[in-house]
Chain A
């Protein structure tokens, strides 16, 4: 079983999983059901946790295992659970109309991926890096794409819950960029970001619930009207 220790093999697996993450991200751009989007997010977080685990294994970076475990518990289990409860409580299950229609948003997501690749290309110098250090260099492009598509989701959707999800996708992109470039930030920073996101989602969850209570809708464009 020599290939288990071969960085080349690890690189292939990581690249493959990064591509899967990207596919999931583009799938969310074409997804209308809130519950399905939340499940896609959970699946994507699970893949991210696996990528972190694999990078930790091949670089002997043991603190990344903690990050992987935290991602698994918080992002793949707890946050989706909270969001699903929220969607059930609010009772709005479908994004009726995004600002830009679905085929066009998918096309735009594709173009944003291209932008991600072009940007990431300038960071990569194959002659200066060893095989082990190049582990997961492809993931930077995917990370930037996740970031951009997350932004686009936040701009494109009207519902507050999908905007929260856009933020979460964006954060996934940040996490992927962090683990692929630096093999994990210091533990304190890592923990800080995780709890930041957790608290943000909880606060936003309460906010979303309030919005839907007050306005009978989650449509953020209605927030322009003042109400006592």
Chain B
């Protein structure tokens, strides 16, 4: 029991520290690639502290959903963060649920975010919510299919056992099914974190925004919680991608040396993935909203092919 608490504590601190950093790194790299100077990598921390100290403006029309949503978004993201292996193969809360819990906890957060967008009664909020739900309705099955492919290889839907199975077969990622699943999950990552071909985090242009439209009415500490939740969710999805498909360097126990080594490798892998995301973001133009389902249909088919090819190859 205390062991689990200690592990959870360590991973919680890691989550809270690394999530804004990764977001900052992506922003800085993107700015550099576009020959801008851009903010430095620690800007998200400063934004958080500034938002925490600010006052809040809450719309008169908002109900309790508006004020409960930031906590739910933050709590579900953090809980999911404790369920996935970050630096060691066994996640602190792996006993509480596997991939299904991860997918649906994220869905719960999204559900409340969409409700909150509608709750304020502003037209932008409703627009954002409807778009978010349209996209997630296709992104979620694609994500499930991709993850099930990996789960099938490990004979378990428990993420820790999946990571252990992946560590023991290090050439696994060369298999076509794994590669197809990786491609599907990468598209889902782009869609779920609101990155460029699907959504643009850097703009508040009413015609295009999805995630930003839902949280338009939030300010102060609530906004800080939602932002932090979104960053953690992004980190969780990235971790899922690097640790299930490239499980090198995951430490098998919770010793200090193992964790240190695991952390270094983990950060390296995250940095690699971040560079890849930045490249995709800078070399692509944003899609028209009605074209987004086409991209996600590709992800869905890739996921389905991945799942089927595990039986055929």
Contacts and interface: CB of A to CB of B under 8 A. Distances in A.
Contact of A12 (B174, B293, B308): B174
B301 A109 contact: yes
Interface string B163-181: 0000000010011100110
A12 B301 contact: no
A117 B312 CA distance: 7
Interface residues of B, number: 20
Interface in B165-217: 171, 174-176, 179-180, 183
B298 interface: yes
A213 interface: no
A106 B312 contact: no
Contacts of B183: 23
Contacts of A16: 174-176, 179
A23 B180 contact: yes
Given A103-B293, A106-B294, A12 B175 contact: yes
A30 interface: yes
A20 B302 CA distance: 11
Nearest to B294: A102
A109 B301 CA distance: 9
Interface of A is mostly: helix
B176 A106 contact: no
Contacts of A23: 180, 183, 302
Contact of B302 (A18, A26, A102, A117): A26
Nearest to A142: B176
A207 interface: no
B107 interface: no
Contacts of B304: 110
A27 B298 contact: yes
A: contact size bracket: 20 to 34
B313 interface: yes
Contacts of A163: none
Nearest to A27: B298
Contacts of A103: 293-294, 297
Contacts of B179: 16, 19-20
B18 interface: no
Contacts of A13: 174
Contact of A26 (B171, B174, B298): B298
A105 to B, nearest CB: 9
A26 B301 contact: yes
A113 B312 CA distance: 12
A107 interface: yes
A83 interface: no
Interface in B70-97: none
Contacts of B298: 26-27, 30, 106
A35 B218 CA distance: 44
A88 B134 CA distance: 37
A13 B171 CA distance: 11
Given A106-B301, A110-B301, A110-B304, A30 B174 contact: no
**3 nearest interchain CB pairs?**
A19-B176, A110-B301, A103-B297
14 contacts: A12-B175, A15-B175, A16-B176, A19-B309, A20-B179, A22-B176, A22-B305, A26-B301, A102-B294, A102-B297, A106-B294, A106-B298, A110-B301, A110-B304
Interface of A: 12-13, 15-16, 18-20, 22-23, 26-27, 30, 102-103, 106-107, 109-110, 113-114, 117, 121, 138, 141
Interface of B: 171, 174-176, 179-180, 183, 293-295, 297-298, 301-302, 304-305, 308-309, 312-313
